[in-house]
């Protein structure tokens, strides 16, 4: 093992603030990326469902003759 104790491991030879903050930033960015991807996926699914409902509704309406409106 590179460190004599668990305390030495967490101290990282005096570089603990840099090392652990780098790990924290990396973990937060990875977590944020996953959360963002899931939110975009949910939004895409909602948009596709809305589009499908609209297309069904428009397709089921009888065709109007615009010349009759004048």
Least confident of 46-50, 54-58, 61-65: 61-65
18 within a domain of the structure (yes/no): no
45 within a domain of the structure (yes/no): yes
34 within a domain of the structure (yes/no): yes
37 within a domain of the structure (yes/no): yes
Domain with 39, as residue range(s), is: 29-54
Q: How many angstroms separate the Cα of 52 from the Cα of each of 38, 43, 44, 57, 60?
A: 21, 14, 12, 9, 12
With a threshold of 0.85, does the pTM exceed it? no
Domain count, the chain: 1
* pLDDT tens by residue, 6-46: 899 889 888 999 999 999 999 999 999 999 999 999 999 99
């Amino acid at each position: 093992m590179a460190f004599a104790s668990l305390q030495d491991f967490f101290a990282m030879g005096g570089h603990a603030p840099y090392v652990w903050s780098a790990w924290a930033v990396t973990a937060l960015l990875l977590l944020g990326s996953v959360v963002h991807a899931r939110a975009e996926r949910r939004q895409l699914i909602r948009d596709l469902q809305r589009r499908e409902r609209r297309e069904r509704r428009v397709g089921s309406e009888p065709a109007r003759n615009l010349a009759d409106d004048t």
